[in-house]
């Protein structure tokens, strides 16, 4: 930019200058009166010119010109120095080094316009010194934080003109597989090579949560490169247990497969996917992947089967129907084979009892099965009882048997398979004494007093009062005692057998599941007779709600809870595990002894001792994770001799380095990255880029100074002005 | 006391051979795979009939309930008691017997505020009340007295006719009306609470249709439908007992297609 300015200009100066000019012209007119016109004009002109020259000398008119220079913008060359670049027969690292060598001069030629810097991967990305040499040994980084590097470079170099990127595109830190949102043009170099013969698990998409006993779908992205399309098997394991195996058809590129499985227990569960190795593949390291999913309960699906309509069943149905978290399916036997109803089917509302459907096909869809005074004999063959046993032991289902004149021994269950999971022994009763009539007041055992099923009020004293205020029950089924694994929570002190008071409410754990025996059909008395007389009707509600939740392994019902590790764990990391412990009143348990065991996939184990950080908060630190795989933690909390609770947790530990997991050039990622950022993939046309960069650089000028010239700032002007004044004075004297 | 007796009145309308075979076929379908023991060693009377005793004609059909309970045991899996249990207004022993019948052939004297609260507590916590008007006339003194008392027990709630698809008409038998000894009003009325109808009123002397004479016959003729009407009155009693014990069980999704199909026939 060029222009004129007055260096001596100010408002006063300009005003004075004009005043002086005006005065000169005016004085020229007045002082030349009487002179002939020719002389007069000459005198005015001389005086005006003299004054003008004086004004110029004072105002200092000057011509200025901007001085500019090229503004150098940052330009980054990012080199992916991760180990995956050096893998394969014809590694990409060689191509990257080759590119750097070939384009060294091209990049140098950009120096007038650009401050070219080299970076490697990192967060923040490290800049390579100009003189540093980068060779094949440099490709050793054990992760590829590609997104973090690009964003870090953009952030640390404001005004950066672009990023030339030498990478395989194998991001393995960010969870998002999409390229980052970056507003700087990125120019990935289309490297050659990187050809691998490999099958690998590219990624696993899991649902945010899975629901117990509900099919959960896991989508697996499987890569195939350099091998013939074909089939391989994909297997899903929980620990060493194979859950699902499926054949997947693979073709070159990324393939999608899905695995469907039904989690059986709630909690944080870890799983492993394994792809069978394909002959000829370069690496089987990347054929497995691990993930963990939180398994929760949606609705508790309960199957209630009752041998006859009773008040116990009626009030239980009302309770479950009023609970929005329970999906209740009921089958009531309204007519037995002994009942006579000689009317056509069309006049009855009875439906067939779909035993086969329920006990063979649909059993696994329920969370709990309740037999309420139900005698199986007339309706279902004995193998259905075996299905119930399997449902509990293997599927983790809950089973409860409620008393009555068709239940326990009276239901013909003695000697059947079901006794394997019943928490009471049925044998030993004399004929006719299988059901004891009459009112009785039950008593809680020590275990019952502390069990969450009977915690109806946080205040132990109030809880005891509630229990004592309950009305008498009526009628009890015979049982001998708790069976192996059974725990008596309540008993009838008025009915004794050779082992002591008869058990009334007994619970047990069998395999994966839990069972409950309620040896009376009169618990409904905790509802109508109790509540109508002013008792707390929440007792009946809470008893059944808690019982169902306990049967379902509801983690919130457990007094010990292990908290899942929050970050992704890798082989060699130190693990910190936290546990929360409550006492029988569900208050933070101070002074508890929390111990446990960490078991790795290969059976290696590590004893855990938790220390108390705060009341009820326990922690075990610096637990070594020596190998990758699924780890399982089992912990127990004790206070004195009493076991407060047990919990278990599973989590995956990945390999120390994720690098071998993903190999080869991800062209699709690079294309997406270039397009999203406004750049393009360079495929041997670097010169075009360099030329465009140079042209852009030319336009990028900055003003660094100003050149000012005063053409009249010299003694000649002043001398001329003085001479003119002298001439004016002389001529006036001459003409007068 | 428990009972396994199967006594009771025989059905008056003879069943055809075709109907008998049909019924047996259904039984085979319903209880495929039957086996095991034939009789329970013991049984408990899960369904007891409590009846309110009050000054006046509180028990217009003295033998009706025992005859009906025998039918209930014979026709259904319900282990019904043998005879009715009498309770008085305000008697807390009622809360051990979730089924209450209040019948009458004369005026119904107001049992008072306290008794109204007693009834309300009973119903609110799961009890079921059947009112049986044995007068055989519309707008009887019994019906007016009951309505006044219910107004005290359930302010703002009145007896309303139950719709034809109400569960009580399909809880065991598929019924289209509510006959008793007479047919004063062809439908039941009731008070609904939380999708259930724990208070039901029958205007047609239901127990009068069941009542027996000392010789084993029925005490009263059923007008106008005769013995078919009596059979339907017994079926209605079965449905009422079943409804009290099972609530909306027949409205569970699993039953709906079957019931709709049979209703269409």
Maximum Cα–Cα distance across chain B: 56
Name the minimum distance, in Å, from the CA of B82 to any CA of chain A: 16
The domain total for chain A is: 5
The answer to the question of residue A658 being in a domain is no
Higher-confidence residue of A191 and A567: namely A191
Question: B101 — contact with chain A (CB < 8 Å)?
Answer: no
Q: Residue B20 pLDDT > 50, yes or no?
A: no
Kindly tell me the burial class for residue A490, based on how many C-beta atoms sit within 10 Å of its own C-beta (0-12, 13-18, 19 or more): buried
Taking an 8 Å cut-off on Cβ atoms, the answer to whether A314 and B246 are in contact is yes
Maximum Cα–Cα distance across chain A: 166
Question: B228 — contact with chain A (CB < 8 Å)?
Answer: no
pLDDT, one tens digit per residue, over A137-160 is 888 888 888 999 999 999 999 999
Taking an 8 Å cut-off on Cβ atoms, the answer to whether B245 and A347 are in contact is no
- Which whole number is the average pLDDT over A314-322? 93
Q: Characterise A666 by phi-psi region: left (phi > 0), alpha (psi -120 to 50), beta (else).
A: beta
The pLDDT > 70 percentage for chain A reads 95
Q: Residue A255 pLDDT > 70, yes or no?
A: yes
Choose the closest CB to B247 out of A314, A345, A346.
A314
Kindly tell me the burial class for residue A327, based on how many C-beta atoms sit within 10 Å of its own C-beta (0-12, 13-18, 19 or more): middle
Q: Tell me if residue A733 falls in helix, strand or coil.
A: helix
One domain, residues A540 and A446: yes
pLDDT, one tens digit per residue, over B214-236 is 888 999 999 999 999 999 999 99
By C-alpha distance, the chain A residue nearest B170 is: A349
Taking an 8 Å cut-off on Cβ atoms, the answer to whether B22 and A336 are in contact is no
Domain end call among A517, A552, A587? A552
One domain, residues A80 and A190: yes
By C-alpha distance, the chain A residue nearest B25 is: A345
| CA distances for A428 relative to A425, A497, B255, angstroms | 9, 10, 41
pLDDT, one tens digit per residue, over A392-408 is 999 889 999 999 999 99
Q: Tell me if residue B175 falls in helix, strand or coil.
A: coil
Q: What CATH number is associated with residue A275? A: 2.60.40.10
One domain, residues A134 and A20: no
Mean pLDDT of chain B: 83
The answer to the question of residue A712 being in a domain is yes
Choose the closest CB to B249 out of A332, A376, A405.
A332
User: What tokens were used for A379?
Assistant: 């309706």
One domain, residues A426 and A517: yes
Question: B10 — contact with chain A (CB < 8 Å)?
Answer: no
pLDDT of residue A73: 92
Task: Using alpha carbons only, give the angle A196, A202, A206 rounded to the nearest 5 degrees.
Answer: 170
The answer to the question of residue A533 being in a domain is yes
**pLDDT confidence bin for A658, thresholds 50/70/90:** low
| CA distances for B7 relative to A127, A252, A481, A639, B3, angstroms | 101, 81, 39, 61, 11
pLDDT, one tens digit per residue, over A121-136 is 998 999 998 888 888 8
Contacts (Cβ under 8 Å, ≥6 apart) of B57: B104, B105, B106, B134
**pLDDT confidence bin for A588, thresholds 50/70/90:** confident
Q: Which domain holds residue A453?
A: 300-341+348-552
Contacts of A311 in chain B (CB under 8 A): 46, 98, 245
One domain, residues A240 and A309: no
Question: B190 — contact with chain A (CB < 8 Å)?
Answer: no
Strands (E), A395-526: 398-402, 424-425, 435-440, 443-444, 473-477, 481-482, 486-497, 500-510, 513-518
**pLDDT confidence bin for A512, thresholds 50/70/90:** confident
User: Which of A342, A403, A521 is the best substitution to test chain B (most B C-beta atoms within 10 A)?
Assistant: A342
User: What tokens were used for A388?
Assistant: 């119930």
**pLDDT confidence bin for A660, thresholds 50/70/90:** low
**pLDDT confidence bin for B19, thresholds 50/70/90:** very low
| CA distances for B252 relative to A327, A351, B249, angstroms | 11, 12, 5
Higher-confidence residue of B31 and A633: namely A633
Distance, CA of A576 to chain centre: 19
Q: What CATH number is associated with residue A147? A: 3.40.50.410
One domain, residues A410 and A508: yes
One domain, residues A408 and A445: yes
By C-alpha distance, the chain A residue nearest B77 is: A335
Q: How many CB pairs under 8 A join A and B?
A: 187
Contacts of B72 in chain A (CB under 8 A): none
Kindly tell me the burial class for residue A498, based on how many C-beta atoms sit within 10 Å of its own C-beta (0-12, 13-18, 19 or more): exposed
User: What tokens were used for B261?
Assistant: 């199909």
The answer to the question of residue A393 being in a domain is yes
Name the minimum distance, in Å, from the CA of A355 to any CA of chain B: 9
pLDDT, one tens digit per residue, over B72-103 is 999 999 999 988 999 999 999 999 999 999 99
A185 within 8 A of A154, measured Cβ to Cβ: no
Residue for token pair 């690292």:
A93
The answer to the question of residue A465 being in a domain is yes
Query: Is 0.90 topped by the overall pTM?
Result: no
Q: List all residues of chain B from 192 to 211 with a beta carbon under 8 Å from chain A.
A: none
Taking an 8 Å cut-off on Cβ atoms, the answer to whether A533 and B95 are in contact is yes
Taking an 8 Å cut-off on Cβ atoms, the answer to whether B22 and A353 are in contact is no
Contacts of A521 in chain B (CB under 8 A): 44, 46
Choose the closest CB to A348 out of B31, B78, B173.
B173
Taking an 8 Å cut-off on Cβ atoms, the answer to whether B22 and A345 are in contact is yes
Choose the closest CB to A311 out of B31, B76, B98.
B98
The answer to the question of residue A221 being in a domain is yes
One domain, residues A374 and A501: yes
Q: Residue B64 pLDDT > 80, yes or no?
A: yes
One domain, residues A646 and A667: no
Contacts of A475 in chain B (CB under 8 A): 44
One domain, residues A405 and A506: yes
Higher-confidence residue of B122 and A51: namely B122
Question: Cβ atoms within 10 A of the Cβ of A414, count?
Answer: 17
Q: Residue B1 pLDDT > 80, yes or no?
A: no
Question: B31 — contact with chain A (CB < 8 Å)?
Answer: yes
Q: Which of A585-589, B152-156, B186-190 has the lowest mean pLDDT?
A: A585-589
Q: List all residues of chain A from 304 to 343 with a beta carbon under 8 Å from chain B.
A: 307-311, 313-315, 317-318, 321, 329-343
By C-alpha distance, the chain B residue nearest A341 is: B75
Taking an 8 Å cut-off on Cβ atoms, the answer to whether B74 and A340 are in contact is yes
Residues in chain B: 265
One domain, residues A311 and A410: yes
One domain, residues A583 and A601: yes
Looking only at the bridges linking them, the beta strands covering A230-238 and A241-250 are antiparallel
The answer to the question of residue A627 being in a domain is yes
Question: B20 — contact with chain A (CB < 8 Å)?
Answer: yes
The answer to the question of residue A295 being in a domain is no
Question: A430 — contact with chain B (CB < 8 Å)?
Answer: no
Q: What CATH number is associated with residue A329? A: 3.40.50.880
């Amino acid at each position: 930019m060029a222009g004129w300015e007055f260096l001596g200009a100010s408002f006063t100066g300009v005003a004075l200058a004009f005043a002086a000019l005006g005065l000169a012209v005016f004085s020229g007119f007045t002082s030349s009166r009487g002179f002939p016109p020719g002389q007069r004009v000459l005198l005015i002109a001389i005086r005006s010119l003299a004054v003008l020259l004086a004004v110029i000398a004072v105002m200092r008119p000057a011509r200025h010109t901007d001085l500019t220079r090229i503004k150098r913008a940052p330009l980054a060359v990012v080199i992916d120095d991760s180990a995956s670049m050096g893998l394969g027969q014809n590694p990409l690292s060689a191509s990257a080094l080759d590119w750097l060598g070939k384009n060294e001069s091209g990049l140098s030629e950009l120096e007038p316009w650009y401050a070219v810097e080299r970076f490697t991967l990192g967060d923040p990305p490290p800049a390579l010194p100009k003189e540093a040499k980068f060779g094949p040994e440099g490709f050793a980084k054990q992760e590829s934080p590609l997104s973090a590097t690009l964003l870090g470079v953009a952030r640390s170099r404001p005004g950066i003109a672009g990023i030339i990127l030498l990478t395989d595109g194998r991001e393995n830190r960010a969870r998002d597989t999409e390229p980052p949102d970056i507003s700087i043009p990125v120019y990935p170099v289309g490297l050659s090579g990187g050809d691998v013969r490999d099958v690998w698990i590219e990624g696993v998409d899991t649902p945010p949560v899975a629901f117990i006993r509900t099919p959960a779908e896991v989508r697996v992205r499987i890569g195939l490169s350099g091998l013939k399309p074909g089939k391989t098997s994909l297997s899903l394991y929980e620990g060493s247990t194979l859950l699902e195996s499926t054949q997947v058809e693979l073709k070159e590129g990324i393939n999608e497969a899905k695995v469907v499985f039904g989690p059986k227990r709630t909690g944080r569960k870890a799983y492993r996917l394994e792809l069978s190795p394909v002959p000829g593949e370069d690496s089987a390291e990347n054929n497995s992947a691990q993930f963990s999913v939180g398994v929760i309960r949606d609705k508790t699906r309960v199957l209630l089967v009752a041998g006859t309509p009773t008040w116990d069943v009626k009030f239980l149905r009302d309770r479950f129907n009023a609970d929005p978290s329970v999906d209740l399916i009921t089958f009531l036997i309204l007519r037995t084979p002994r009942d006579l109803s000689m009317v056509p089917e069309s006049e009855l509302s009875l439906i067939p009892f779909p035993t086969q459907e329920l006990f063979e096909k649909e059993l696994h869809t329920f969370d709990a099965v309740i037999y309420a005074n139900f005698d199986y004999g007339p309706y279902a063959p004995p193998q259905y009882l075996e299905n119930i046993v399997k449902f509990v032991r293997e599927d983790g289902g809950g089973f409860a048997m409620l008393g009555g004149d068709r239940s326990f021994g009276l239901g013909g269950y003695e000697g059947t398979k079901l006794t394997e999971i019943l928490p009471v022994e049925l044998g030993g009763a004399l004929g006719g004494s299988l059901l004891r009539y009459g009112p009785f007041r039950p008593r809680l055992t020590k275990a019952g007093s502390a069990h969450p099923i009977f915690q109806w009020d946080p205040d132990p004293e109030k809880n005891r009062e509630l229990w004592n205020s309950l009305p008498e029950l009526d009628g009890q089924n015979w049982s001998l005692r708790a069976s192996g694994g059974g725990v008596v929570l309540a008993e009838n002190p008025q009915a004794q057998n050779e082992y002591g008071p008869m058990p009334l409410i007994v619970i047990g754990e069998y395999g994966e599941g839990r069972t409950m025996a309620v040896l009376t059909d009169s618990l409904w008395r905790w509802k109508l007779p109790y509540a109508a007389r002013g008792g707390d009707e929440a007792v009946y509600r809470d008893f059944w709600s808690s019982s169902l939740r306990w049967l379902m392994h509801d983690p919130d019902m457990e007094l010990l809870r292990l908290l899942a590790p929050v970050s992704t764990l890798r082989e060699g990391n130190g693990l910190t595990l936290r546990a929360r412990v409550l006492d029988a009143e569900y208050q933070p348990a101070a002074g508890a002894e929390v111990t446990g065991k960490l078991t790795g996939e290969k059976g290696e184990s590590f004893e855990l001792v938790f220390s108390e950080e705060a009341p009820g908060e326990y922690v075990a630190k610096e637990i070594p994770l020596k190998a990758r795989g699924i780890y399982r933690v089992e912990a127990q909390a004790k206070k004195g001799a009493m076991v407060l609770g047990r919990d278990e947790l599973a989590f995956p530990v990945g390999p120390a380095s994720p690098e071998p997991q993903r190999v080869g050039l991800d062209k699709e990622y690079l294309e997406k990255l270039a397009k999203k950022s406004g750049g393009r993939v360079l495929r041997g046309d670097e010169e075009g880029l360099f030329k465009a960069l140079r042209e852009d650089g030319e336009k990028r000028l900055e003003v660094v100074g100003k050149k000012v010239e005063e053409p009249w700032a010299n003694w000649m002007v002043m001398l001329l002005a003085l001479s003119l004044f002298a001439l004016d004075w002389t001529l006036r004297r001459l003409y007068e | 006391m428990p009972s396994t007796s199967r006594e009771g009145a025989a059905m008056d309308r003879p069943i055809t051979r075709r109907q008998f075979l049909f019924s047996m076929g259904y039984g085979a379908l319903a209880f495929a795979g039957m086996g095991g023991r034939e009789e329970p060693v013991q049984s408990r009377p899960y369904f007891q009939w409590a009846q309110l005793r009050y000054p006046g004609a509180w028990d217009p059909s003295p033998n009706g309930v025992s005859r009906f309970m025998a039918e209930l045991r014979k026709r259904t899996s319900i282990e019904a008691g043998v005879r009715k249990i009498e309770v008085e207004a305000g008697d807390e022993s009622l809360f051990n017997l979730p089924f209450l019948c209040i019948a009458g052939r004369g005026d119904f004297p107001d049992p008072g505020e306290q008794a109204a609260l007693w009834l309300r507590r009973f119903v609110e916590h799961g009890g079921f009340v059947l009112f049986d008007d044995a007068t055989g006339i519309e707008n009887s003194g019994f019906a007016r007295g009951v309505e006044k008392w219910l107004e005290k027990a359930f302010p703002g709630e009145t007896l309303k006719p139950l719709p034809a698809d109400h569960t009580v008409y399909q809880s065991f038998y598929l019924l289209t009306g509510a006959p008793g000894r007479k047919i004063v009003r062809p439908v039941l009325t009731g008070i609904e609470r939380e999708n259930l109808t724990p208070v039901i009123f029958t205007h047609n002397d239901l127990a009068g249709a069941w009542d027996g004479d000392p010789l084993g016959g029925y005490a009263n003729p059923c007008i106008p439908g005769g013995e078919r009407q009596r059979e339907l009155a017994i079926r209605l009693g079965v449905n009422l007992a079943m409804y009290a014990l099972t609530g909306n069980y027949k409205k569970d999704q699993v039953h709906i297609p079957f019931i709709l199909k049979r209703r269409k026939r």
